[in-house]
Structure 1
């Protein structure tokens, strides 16, 4: 079904497909070759239209965690620049010195629950058959504030009615989670002109949306890297040179690029939210994954 956001070219091609099919049925003609040609034109046009997002859309920043802190993919005027910083605040400031960033998309939980599971995590797993394990369970705020993993497990068990433990991988993100949480809390106190919208994304969801299905090849394998580069290229993303850099691996950079793709969609009002209505816990920060 078309929407008000459907580009004129897409509407024209969809109308042409409908009219060709109707003529074929009415006169008993085989219009299969013509339909396939028009649909191929539509696919080519789709890449062109998506590529134009990164020229016409405002600058955006996609962010992923690396061993040395954060790696960012700054997309502005159809080009992608790679940035690195030990803190999210430093990365955003670096990006804003280069461009008027409209949206920051980060692959880290935003909005920490007081108890139980976040709907964002549950829905993201459901949308990634075969890759559900890539979505880590977000721990409670009490667990992330615990100084050791053992204390985090106890805190999460005490804070959840079902007695949920704390996964080591989820707790391993503690430093990054608290960095983002601190940045968002500080941003509330900043002047309105200094605030930049920050959204949560999950790269595997981004890639699944680009290709129509989850990418099952591991992101650290040659096959996985190739598939992710192809997915980004298919939507017209201006890929930088994909390689490891100071404090980040090649897959971290590709995840940051996927995050930037969702940031561009969000800036243009095209992103979707999981859940549709973000949850809000006691921290007052809306919790939802955008894609």
Structure 2
């Protein structure tokens, strides 16, 4: 397999961990692993990965709400339900959703959904990674990426047949042909793989200096990090 010297990887969460797609010249290649650190190591074995996009919030606040989530929801319009408001760090570090909501109401003035709580483990995993110095990783939301590709939000819900075909066609037009996909997708569902491929497209844009951020410039957050959704 021929790969570029500066590869990128798009990553999405799935049932048993993470799935990644690297849009290599010979066709996209998939990777699967139970944790993100292992996933990156697997991808690096086939050629060094220069930029990584991950569909997970990066950059947690101590109080208030992230600008990235609000702005992305505005961009997506009728698809805004795919954006979960990201709680403050302290609300994710407690043992249960009810306690997290109480912390969130105290520090941000409102609670957050059980769906957002469901991302807790992966959010904290990525947070630990980036605070530990992994600087290749950027936050990318697939639906914002597809809206950028099409110039409008997706017309169909992603878990429908029409929605899958719409997104696969957008990826093919952008040069990411999933009919040529090789590698290991693990437990990932079709929508997880499609989302990872979309995130990879934005990772390429980041590598080329073409990506845009919500907000622009990114919001500064604790630990010297920034919070932005890239597309």
| Shorter-chain TM band | over 0.9
How far residue 286 of structure 1 moved from its aligned partner, in angstroms, is 0.8
Q: Distance in 1 between matches of 2:59 and 2:185?
A: 30
CA deviation digits over 1:116-149, x for unaligned, max 9? Answer: 1111111101111211111110111011111111
Unaligned ranges ≥5, structure 1: 1-54, 189-194
Structure with greater proportional helix content: 1
How far residue 241 of structure 1 moved from its aligned partner, in angstroms, is 4.4
Unaligned ranges ≥5, structure 2: none
Task: Specify whether residues 241 and 80 from structure 1 end up closer, same or farther in structure 2 by C-alpha distance, changes over 3 A only.
Answer: closer
How far residue 203 of structure 1 moved from its aligned partner, in angstroms, is 0.2
Structure with greater proportional strand content: 2
1:100-139 aligned within 5 A: 100-139=48-87
Task: Specify whether residues 275 and 78 from structure 1 end up closer, same or farther in structure 2 by C-alpha distance, changes over 3 A only.
Answer: farther
Pair 1:89 & 2:37 matched? yes
Partner of 2:157: 218
How far residue 99 of structure 1 moved from its aligned partner, in angstroms, is 1.1
Q: Distance in 1 between matches of 2:78 and 2:110?
A: 23
Q: Distance in 2 between matches of 1:241 and 1:227?
A: 17
How far residue 200 of structure 1 moved from its aligned partner, in angstroms, is 0.4
Q: Distance in 2 between matches of 1:136 and 1:272?
A: 20
Following superposition, which runs of at least 4 residues in structure 1 exceed 3 angstroms of deviation?
Answer: none
Partner of 2:175: 236
Partner of 1:144: 92
TM-score by length of 2: 0.93
Partner of 2:138: 199
How far residue 245 of structure 1 moved from its aligned partner, in angstroms, is 4.5
Q: Distance in 2 between matches of 1:130 and 1:227?
A: 16
Partner of 1:260: 200
Q: Distance in 2 between matches of 1:57 and 1:218?
A: 36
Quick one: higher RCO (CA 8 Å, sep 6+), 1 or 2?
2
Partner of 1:29: none
Partner of 1:4: none
Q: Distance in 2 between matches of 1:120 and 1:113?
A: 12
How far residue 79 of structure 1 moved from its aligned partner, in angstroms, is 2.1
- Matched length: 227
Query: Residues 102 and 196 of structure 1 are in contact (CA less than 8 Å); yes or no, is this contact kept in structure 2?
Result: no
Pair 1:170 & 2:110 matched? no
Query: Residues 29 and 181 of structure 2 are in contact (CA less than 8 Å); yes or no, is this contact kept in structure 1?
Result: no
Q: Distance in 1 between matches of 2:4 and 2:217?
A: 28
Q: Which has the larger radius of gyration?
A: 1
What's the Cα RMSD here? 1.8
TM-score by length of 1: 0.74
